[in-house]
Amino acid sequence: MNTGNSETTQADRSAAGRASRSTVNLDELSRLKQELMQAEVRLAKARATVVSAEIDIKVINTRLREFMK
């Protein structure tokens, strides 16, 4: 009978281990998703900055050409 209890205890431990790993995996997944969203926001801001700088350059070049005429 001890073997049966031992197997049950081992199965219980295994199930508990899987449950805790699942929780850890879900926490890690949530953290990674959050980091990805933050990186996407930083990238969007950087792209907006680049576009803004490109527009500034075009405007200044146009003004410079007009001034040089």
End-to-end CA distance of the chain: 101
Encoded tokens for 48: 């907006």
Q: Which two tokens stand for residue 3?
A: 């073997």
Q: State how far the Cα of 11 lies from the Cα of 54, in Å rounded to an integer.
A: 63
* Residue 5 or 54, more confident: 54
Q: What is the pLDDT of residues 4-42, one digit of tens each?
A: 555 567 767 777 666 677 888 999 999 999 999 999 999
